[in-house]
Amino acid sequence: MPKHEFGIMQTAPRKGKRYDSYEPEKYGCISVDDDYILPLLEEFKNIKCYWHTLDRPEFGFAYYGITLIPPESLDGLIAIIWSNSKLSDLMALLKEAEANKKFVIHFGI
């Protein structure tokens, strides 16, 4: 089953730098089955993110790539997954990142 990886970036991404390497261990990522993410993709389209670099603002996840989710977008993401008990680990990670004003990195499938 395909998985998505989510982690907290302890250092904020820098403008001009690309994040193209798959490094889930670097960010202490958790895995989330695609079966739980796929049904929410339409709702995620309203979440301001960056794809691979801060120089590419987008909305929603780079499904097959790397997404940088800024601290100001975490509240909206939390609201989308709030009622899904299967995403409790992701909810905890998002809340921790939000409390510490950290970016979240998403590695797509």
Reported as a single tens digit per residue, the pLDDT across 38-71 is 999 999 999 999 999 999 999 999 999 999 999 9
pLDDT given at position 1:
81
pLDDT tens digits, 73-88: 999 999 999 988 899 9
CB 45 within 8 A of CB 31: no
What's the CA gap between 14 and 54, in Å, rounded? 7
What's the CA gap between 86 and 28, in Å, rounded? 19
DSSP 12: P
pLDDT given at position 64:
95
pLDDT given at position 32:
97
The burial of 49, by beta-carbon neighbours within 10 Å (0-12 exposed, 13-18 middle, 19 or more buried), is given as buried
What's the CA gap between 82 and 16, in Å, rounded? 33
pLDDT given at position 88:
95
Distances (CA, A) of 2 to 72, 75, 94: 28, 26, 21
